[in-house]
Structure 1
Amino acid sequence: MTRRKRSLSGEERTLWATVARTVAPLRPEDTVPPPPPPVVETPPSVSVAAKGTGTPAKSGKLGKAVPPPPPPLHPIERRTLTRVARGTIEIDGRIDLHGLTQLDAHDRLRGFLHDAQSRGSKLVIVITGKGKVGAEDPYGMNERGILRRRVPQWLAEPGLRNIVIGFEEAHRSHGGGGALYVRIRKKRTAHKAGGA
């Protein structure tokens, strides 16, 4: 009966290479060359087309393309805030969310910001109101001013980052802590193919 020759697994090759490095040969001419490095297989998520372009294909679950991350928010510069407070920079629009439920306020805010971007607005004011906890409600169970807290969270959502560059509390003359200045990102226009 002839014995079949078996090749070493990757783990066995690594173990053999480690042991072989620690052993001193009896005669230098008997030195055994180290085994070849293990073959690393490419993951199946990298497409053949991406290999040819030199850029790795990004994929998520089930091979779907991962969208790029939304642009980061940037604070409004102090100089710009001063100029807005003095009236040197014009405010292109405003929305007052007083008295609305969270759901209505969120929907109206999104619509307002989309419209502002479409109109080419650069700076708008969002009025949330200051809100106060009443004396009869020391634990904030019937909290007022929820929009003052929630609107900044909504403005930071990934879905609005393509519209909102940044936001800051408004100057006292524009509502102070009950309002926000919001800088609007310029709307990207689709370029025509062929440079026409």
Structure 2
Amino acid sequence: MARKKDSETTAEDDVSLFRRLMSDAKPLRQMDKAPERRPSVSTRARFARQDEREVLAESLDADIDETETGAGESLHFHRPSVGRRTMRKLGRGNFSVQDEIDLHGMTVPQAKDALHEFIEECESRGYTCIRIVHGKGIGSGDRGPVIKGKVNKWLKQWSEVLAFVSARQIDGGTGAVYVLLRKNRH
């Protein structure tokens, strides 16, 4: 008679031992699950707001190549929802500027942080028209207007910005922009 290998004998012994020990075991009864609670509207709004902040911070950190912006070049941008008449009024300075920030003379990281805080504060106050003074980059030498190009990029990336256009000469000309913000939904 052929003798079984030790590993086969051990495996069969393990299986029979397990079955013998489990013969009088009874399955656990199903546990009742707690009813699923849907988050309240305020919780959703809070998380949506947090998501928006994170996206804004991420977009300001994004290193996307922007087109070169000249010192005397006018900036303009608008979302499809903004009409020509609104853009004309914005460019003529017909909207009341509710607050402004002066970024020129700052480094890019300083300007990024200051702009981020400023826009968040304006949004929380319900402001719809602001002015951003970015400067013309005259002190930047051959590099051209660094902050101006960054502001152009950052404002286009932020969903709460509906439109912006270079300011009238009396308000800073091509060294500043009027910005139209979406009305605060919260």
Question: Structure 1 length normalisation: TM-score?
Answer: 0.49
Matching residue of 1:168: 165
Seq. identity, %: 33
Q: Is the 8 A contact 1:85 1:173 kept in 2?
A: no
Q: Distance in 2 between matches of 1:164 and 1:126?
A: 12
More relative contact order, 1 or 2 (CA 8 Å, 6+ apart): 2
User: Against the structure 1 CA distance between its residues 107 and 117, is the aligned structure 2 distance closer, same or farther, given a 3 Å change threshold?
Assistant: same
Give per-residue Cα distances to partners, 1:108-132, cap 9 Å, x unaligned.
1011011111111111010011113
| TM-score, structure 2 normalization | 0.51
Distance 1:109 1:133, change over 3 A: closer
Preserved contact between residue 164 and residue 177 of structure 2 (Cα < 8 Å): yes
Select which of 164, 172, 178 maps to 2:175: 178
- Asked whether 1:187 is paired with 2:184, we answer yes
Whose helix proportion is higher, 1 or 2?
2
State the Cα distance separating 1:164 from its structure 2 match. Answer: 1.1
Q: 1:146 to 1:86 in 2, by over 3 A?
A: closer
- Alignment equivalent of 2:99, drawn from 90, 93, 115: 93
Deviation at 1:89, TM superposition (A): 2.4
Structure 2 stretches of 5 or more lacking a match?
1-50, 57-76
Indicate conservation of the 8 Å contact 1:84/1:91, yes or no: no
Structure 2 match to 1:74 = 79
CA deviation string 1:58-86 (max 9, x = no partner): xxxxxxxxx9xx9x951765544554566
- Counterpart check, 1:115 vs 2:112: no
Cα distance between partner residues in 1 of 2:161 and 2:93 = 21
Q: Which residue of 1 aligns with 2:156?
A: 156
- Mapping 1:1-150, distance limit 5 Å: 73-74=78-79, 77-80=83-86, 82-84=88-90, 88-132=94-138, 140=142, 143-150=143-150
- Any conservation in 2 of the 1:84–1:90 contact (CA below 8 Å)? no
Partners of 1:115 and 1:127 in 2: how far apart?
17
- Distance (whole Å) between structure 2 residues aligned to residue 105 and residue 180 of structure 1: 15
Separation in 1, partners of 2:170, 2:85: 16
Answer yes or no: is the 8 Å Cα contact 2:79–2:163 preserved in 1.
yes
User: Gaps (5+ residues) in structure 1?
Assistant: 1-66, 190-196
Aligned length: 112
